Amino acid sequence: MTTPYLPFTRPTLDEETIQGVVEVLRSGWLASGPKVQEFELALADYLGGGRQVRVLTSATGALEVALRVCGIGPGDEVILPALSFAATANVIVRVGARPMFVDVDLATRNMDLNQAEAAVTSRTRALMPVHFAGLPVDMDALYGLAHRRGLRVIEDAAHAIGSAWNGRRIGGFGDIVSFSFHPNKNMTTIEGGALSVADPELAKAIETERFHGIARDAEGEMDVVRAGGKYNMPDVSARVGLGQLRRLDEFNGRRRALARAYFSGLKTDPPMQLPSEGDDGHSWHMFAPLLPLEDLRITRREFIQSMHGKGIGVGVHYPAMHLFSVYRAMGYRPGDFPHAERIGRSTVTLPLFPAMSDSDVARVCQAAAEIIAAGARRAA
């Protein structure tokens, strides 16, 4: 019997959620409605801390809205890590500000906060850290820096729904926190994102920005108070999110178990550099070791192709952002951020999703070990 193909990620949707979507479709209320309100309240309750949560069509849109409601625009600078998905930097450019990249820690992949502090100028308005793979940034150091320098913090927590710092869930405290519900994340709404804030007035500004800048008076008369966009989540997506949120802790618990199995079983010669283990606050959005390319005759592309040949999907998360053409045009160059560049050229994302079995992890580990052994420079 042919071994089934193992993708690097796959969402888990149960029948109760699917039936719930059918009920929404039959209700006739397909745009933002009661399910969006229910989902926002459920997320706020899950995060804790008395937060205000507003959902949007994507995490990219959520980050852009966050920048806009903070008044960040032309002439401003936002400090962020050089290692993330391109959207983290793109939204800064889209509001007219300049992304100020800094390097990351080689083990945690999170923003180097010492470099972040050194990058602060009179034009710096915000820090935009990324909780890479679900491993929280050092929140005490992050907010200590923000308070010392009078900066907003917009957390890119796209990987970190369900992650925690010292027992408090990411998004349950802090300034502005953005989540992603893309299908490859720890929970999905098909497409979608959310912003978590403490201030009800800031939540109102997010509502206005996400739906055309429309405000209504007590009589329901409409005014447009800002040139807003359209980022409102439909009820179908919210209903998927409600089903996913109900199982999020279960999903993340399974992810942690799979990560432990990788740490135990992924033994290659020459060795791959494994990610930081973190603690129980790590939600393990993905497992991304570094290939020992300096000791291999094969390239990363060839490693990925060989894994694919064994029926195993492998991703790349992520290339160093400052090396993309749009950011080179701003003056960034190879060598600016050595850790991000090393990670970017040698990282691979191995399969990790709740429906995987322990035997799936063993299969991945064996395949990786075989391919690396065969591709080692010392091999005949």
Determine contact, residues 289/275, Cβ cutoff 8 Å: yes
User: Around 92, how many Cα atoms within 13 Å sit in the side-chain half-sphere?
Assistant: 27
HEC states along 145-156? HHHHHCCEEEEE
* Token output for 3: 């071994």
Give the three-state DSSP class for 264.
helix
Cα 165 to Cα 63: distance, rounded to the nearest angstrom: 21
Spell out a b/e string for 189-223, using b for 16 or more CB atoms within 10 Å of the CB, else e: bbbbbbbbbbeeebbebbbbbbbbeebeeeeeeee
Cα 340 to Cα 322: distance, rounded to the nearest angstrom: 9
**Measuring CA to CA, how many Å separate 150 from each of 122, 145, 180?**
11, 8, 27
* Token output for 63: 């980050």
**Measuring CA to CA, how many Å separate 50 from each of 178, 198, 367?**
16, 7, 47
**Who's near 11: CB < 8 A, 6+ residues apart?**
183, 184, 188, 353
**Is residue 185 annotated as part of the catalytic site, yes or no?**
yes
Burial of 8 from C-beta contacts in 10 A (0-12 / 13-18 / 19+):
buried
Strand-pair category, 176-180 with 152-156 = parallel
Q: The dihedral of CA 166, 168, 173, 177: what is its sign?
A: positive
Cα 286 to chain centroid distance, Å, stands at: 10
The residue from 35, 185, 204, 267 that is catalytic is 185
Cα 99 to Cα 246: distance, rounded to the nearest angstrom: 36
Catalytic residues: 185
